[in-house]
Each structure stands twice: as structure tokens, then as C-alpha cells.
Amino acid sequence: MGSTYGKIFKISTFGESHGVGIGVVVEGCPAGVDFDTDFIQSELTRRKPGQSRITTQRKEADEFEVLSGVFEGKTTGTPIALIIRNEDQRSKDYSHIAAQFRPSHADYTYQVKYGVRDYRGGGRSSARETAARVAAGALAKLLLANFGVNIQAYVSQVGAMKLDKFYTELDLSQTENNAVRCPDPEMAEKMFNYIDDVRKKGDSIGGVVNCVVKGAPAGWGEPVFDKLHAELGKAMLSINAVKGFEYGSGFDGVAMLGSEHNDAFFVDDKGEVHTRSNHSGGIQGGISNGEDIYFKVAFKPVATIMQDQESVDSNGDTAVVQGKGRHDPCVVPRAVPIVEAMAALVLADFYLRNKASKL
């Protein structure tokens, strides 16, 4: 149950960090969607490890295989199964923590819940699981592209280093031009150097990923419990290391008066309804209103650091956890395609749910 997401466009991921591979089964994808292999692979390449010296040096090509659901370049309407085989496992890097609980990891909670855990890279709790989400999210993007929906995420903050520009002031086409995935070249360089300095000290740092959805029509979302922003929040908070989510004006909106915050409606030259401002973040009453949907996702510092840390072991004895293995000093550069993928999965599901909600 905990590995499945979606009501109609539904995904179930499987696999562990140091197992045979990571995979996903996608159900509910309509037949006839162009299955662009190159695009899906390019999305996985954006997420894969070893991209620069500020990411984990684990070497994985992250090439995917199609096991079912695709014929002659198009989806068939049946379950689509994809697998990404692991190639560079170093399980011995984790033998020292077989009986120790790493601070701020899922080691202790998995042990308590299941009575057993895969200590090799965290097993199922590893962020490597997100490769399967990116593959499925790429397929969701291909579906959404048929309706002009575009999803663009970027890094806006690393530690206290914050890009104080609204997305409308940025050229988001510059996002992929640097290792940090920040669309402001000057700030990107500063962020890169900061992350690299943190890495050299054997430490880690957190950050923020912003995401903008353009082209989503009005009417996507459900009232009450399945509000669009609630599902986006759930999807983002399901990503490893995420500690916060806000959309639209977010927490800054509390300092505004209602007369300032309300988004006034008007009819444009084409006879279409729009709002003059967008503090709502493209969502009102839990349903998209046709304006840009924008939100932020906060990521904590990566829990594995190359420093000794006090902890306990499975016998309840005091232990010292030694930092070993290959890990990102800052997760946000590689989290950009993951955030986009989860947003695409939410929107693809709501597109199909909306089709079923009226004649």
C-alpha cells in the first residue's frame, strides 16, 4: 500500500538501493500515448548520480528497460512495467552500520515497524527509489504535453543562500546550464562553491526547489479532501528529505490584508477568465483556476555526513556511527527532476479524474 500512488493514473514502485534494480508499474495510462524513449531516458539522466563533484559519485547509467505495456512506440492501455537495474552497488560500504542506527535516517523506524531492515544504503528507504518515480513522471509529462501542460522546477535556495527573484523574473531555460540547476548563473556559481566547500568539510546542507506549472486548465482537482494543492503537498512530502511544502503566497500571505491578497477576476481579449494577481498559486477551492501553479519544496541537509556521530545500536548500546559511502552533500540539484515528476503524476491523475467527473 505504501508504495502506490494515484487513483486512475496509478504507479507502484519496487526495488532497493542495493538490490537487482529499481522499477515501477504504471496503470491507467491511456492507450496511444507516444512512448518517447529518448525523453524518458533524458529525465532519468537528469536525476542520476555522478553528475558533478557536488553529487554522489555512485556510477549508475540509470538506463531503463520496458517489460510491458508498450507496442510500436505507443502505450497499449495495459500496465506498463519499467525497470532500472543497479550496476554500482557497494554493499560493503554499509556493513559497519548493520546493527547501528544512523542519526536522522529511517534505520530505527524501519527496524521498529518491520522487525528487519536492509541496511545496504537504506534499502527501500534510499532516495534511489525516486529513479522509478522519475521514469513514471516522464510518461506522465508525455501525456500532459498533449494538452500544453509544462512543468519546470529549479533550485532557489541552498542553505541561507537564497535567490530573491520571483519565477517571472527568471529565464527558466537557463536551469539546466549548470550543475546546481539554478536559473541565475551568478547565484548558481555561488551555490556550487558553497556546496563544494560543505562537501570538503564532510558535512551536508539543505535547500529549496521551486516548481512552476504552466498550461494546466481550470477544473483539475477535487473538493474537500483531495484538493489539488493537498495532493501536490502529499506528493512532495513523500520525496526523501523533504521537510516543507507551500504553494502560492504560502506563509508570506499571512502578512497581507484580504484586500491585497484577493485575486481579482477579469475577462481578457479572447473572452477568457483570468486573475490580475496570482496569490492563490493557480488553485482555488482545491481546483485549478487556469493560472500558473507554483509552489516550493524544502529539503533538509542529507543525513549521511562524513563525520563520526553518536548513536545507539540494535541492542540499545551506545555506538559511534562513522560516515562512509557515497552521498550527496546537497540533494536539491538532483531533486529538481524528482519534484517535476511528482507534480506530473499528480496532474496526470487529476486530468483523468476530471474526465470521469462530468459528461
- Residue 85 marked ligand-binding: no
Look at 54-58, 135-139, 194-198, 311-315 and tell me which has the smallest mean pLDDT: 54-58
The total of other beta-carbon atoms located within 10 Å of residue 259's CB is 6
pLDDT for position 180: 97
- Residue 240 marked ligand-binding: yes
| pLDDT grade for 95, boundaries at 50, 70 and 90 | low
- Residue 56 marked ligand-binding: no
Strands (E), the chain: 4-5, 10-15, 21-27, 64-68, 70-71, 74-75, 80-85, 150-158, 161-162, 207-214, 242-247, 265-267, 273-275, 283-284, 287-288, 293-299, 309-312, 318-321
The owner of cell 558535512 is: 203
Q: State mean pLDDT over 257-286.
A: 97
**CB pairs under 8 A, 24+ apart, for 250-255?**
250/281, 250/295, 250/296, 253/279
pLDDT for position 189: 97
| pLDDT grade for 103, boundaries at 50, 70 and 90 | confident
- Residue 128 marked ligand-binding: no
Is residue 177 predicted with pLDDT exceeding 80?
yes
| pLDDT grade for 92, boundaries at 50, 70 and 90 | low
User: What's the pLDDT tens digit per position in 327-338?
Assistant: 789 999 999 999
* H or E element in which residue 194 lies: helix 185-200
Is residue 89 predicted with pLDDT exceeding 60?
no
Is 32 exposed, middle or buried (CB count within 10 Å of its CB: 0-12, 13-18, 19+)? exposed
Q: State mean pLDDT over 97-111.
A: 82
pLDDT for position 121: 67
* DSSP for 131-149, written as a single string: HHHHHHHHHHHHHHHTTT-
- Residue 300 marked ligand-binding: yes
Is residue 141 predicted with pLDDT exceeding 70?
yes
Q: What are phi and psi of 207, to 5 degrees?
A: 180, -175
The total of other beta-carbon atoms located within 10 Å of residue 2's CB is 6
Q: State mean pLDDT over 231-244.
A: 97
User: Contact 338/132 with Cβ under 8 angstroms?
Assistant: no
- Residue 223 marked ligand-binding: no
Q: What is the CATH number of domain 4-355?
A: 3.60.150.10
- Residue 95 marked ligand-binding: no
pLDDT for position 242: 97
| pLDDT grade for 14, boundaries at 50, 70 and 90 | very high
* H or E element in which residue 40 lies: helix 37-47
| pLDDT grade for 321, boundaries at 50, 70 and 90 | confident
Look at 141-145, 242-246, 282-286, 309-313 and tell me which has the smallest mean pLDDT: 309-313
Tell me the pTM. Answer: 0.93
Type of residue at 201? K
How is residue 236 written as a grid cell? 512532495
- Residue 49 marked ligand-binding: no
- Residue 304 marked ligand-binding: yes
* DSSP for 69-112, written as a single string: SEETTEE-SSPEEEEEE-----GGGGGGGSSB--TTSSHHHHHH
Type of residue at 2? G
Residue environment code for 162-186, b if the CB has 16+ CB neighbours within 10 A, otherwise e: ebeeebeebebeebeebbbbbbbee
The owner of cell 516543507 is: 244
- Residue 58 marked ligand-binding: no
How is residue 90 written as a grid cell? 557497494
Is residue 123 predicted with pLDDT exceeding 80?
no
Look at 181-195, 198-212, 303-317 and tell me which has the smallest mean pLDDT: 303-317
45 SS3 class = helix
Domain positions in the chain are 4-355
Q: State mean pLDDT over 277-282.
A: 98
pLDDT for position 334: 95
Residue environment code for 203-239, b if the CB has 16+ CB neighbours within 10 A, otherwise e: bbbbbbbbbbbbebeeebbbeeeebbbbbbbebbeeb
| pLDDT grade for 91, boundaries at 50, 70 and 90 | low
User: Contact 208/318 with Cβ under 8 angstroms?
Assistant: no
- Residue 301 marked ligand-binding: yes
Is 316 exposed, middle or buried (CB count within 10 Å of its CB: 0-12, 13-18, 19+)? exposed
User: How large a percentage of the chain has pLDDT more than 90?
Assistant: 73
Q: By C-alpha distance, which of 351, 329, 356 is closest to 158?
A: 329
14 SS3 class = strand
- Residue 335 marked ligand-binding: no
Q: State mean pLDDT over 263-292.
A: 97
**How are beta strands 80-85 and 207-214 bridged, if at all?**
unpaired
Taking the C-alpha atoms of residue 46 and residue 23, their distance in angstroms, rounded to an integer, is 17
The owner of cell 504560502 is: 250
User: Contact 153/337 with Cβ under 8 angstroms?
Assistant: yes
